[in-house]
A = this chain, B = another copy of it.
Amino acid sequence: MSYGGYDAPRYGSRGVPGGAGGFAMGRQAGAPPGADPMLWEWFSAVDIDRSGYISAGELQRALINGDWTPFDLDTVKLLMNMFDTDRSGTIGFNEFSGLWKYIKDWQGVFRHFDRDRSGSIDGGELADALRQFGYNLSPQLLMLLERKYGLKGSGPASGPSSFPGAGGSNGITFDRFVRACVVVKQITEAFARLDSDRDGWVQINYEQFMRTVLELP
């Protein structure tokens, strides 16, 4: 039994302007010897208190979506957890360069799948992305993903390729697109770990079940 998978975004930036998310800030100078000056500029700009380390709060203030909304804290923490390799609770300059590249790669993925250049991902575009990543999810799961990571609170269920309904657009912003894809990856990996005999079923108790859920971003 296979649950699909991907390790990192496979789509490089295509140089399409606008639409995705990223860092929004001014310029600062003073790169340390050996450091990529451009990267150091970004790092210094994010490190508002000049501590030499970036906190979750600083990262959240620096990251914005294509529609100028801030990244949700869960996505910021997902990124922190991924790149804070020394578990200090903050991101140093070396860790930042990995985080920077990761976000740039996801920007490329986002622009690639945002085919209608709307600046957000709809249900059909999310389904395409996940299929490309190797996940063949049922229409019901795709609908749940769109509902969970889209902007709309609720509203009539109309399938993964639904048009915007009475409650307005249900587009998925850049931050929540990254989170949705990483959640699918991690749920799939968690399930595969539990399914040691690979028969597609797992036996799980309350403690394991809740732990698995709480470890997701």
Contacts and interface: CB of A to CB of B under 8 A. Distances in A.
A93 to B, nearest CB: 16
A145 B215 CA distance: 9
Given A55-B167, A57-B168, A209-B187, A87 B141 contact: no
Nearest to A85: B154
Contacts of A207: 138, 140-141
Q: Give the interface size class of chain A.
A: 35 or more
A155 B89 contact: yes
A166 interface: yes
A214 interface: yes
B209 A202 contact: yes
A167 B89 contact: yes
Interface in A117-166: 137-138, 140-141, 144-145, 148, 151-156, 165-166
Contacts of A141: 207, 210-211, 214
Interface stretch (A6-14, A72-80, A104-112): A72-80
A68 interface: no
A48 interface: no
Nearest to A1: B206
A77 B153 contact: yes
A69 B207 CA distance: 32
Contacts of A209: 187, 191, 202
Interface in A184-203: 184, 187-188, 191, 195, 200-203
A215 to B, nearest CB: 6
A216 interface: yes
Interface of A: 1, 3, 55-57, 59, 72-74, 76-77, 79-81, 84, 87-90, 137-138, 140-141, 144-145, 148, 151-156, 165-168, 176, 183-184, 187-188, 191, 195, 200-207, 209-211, 213-216
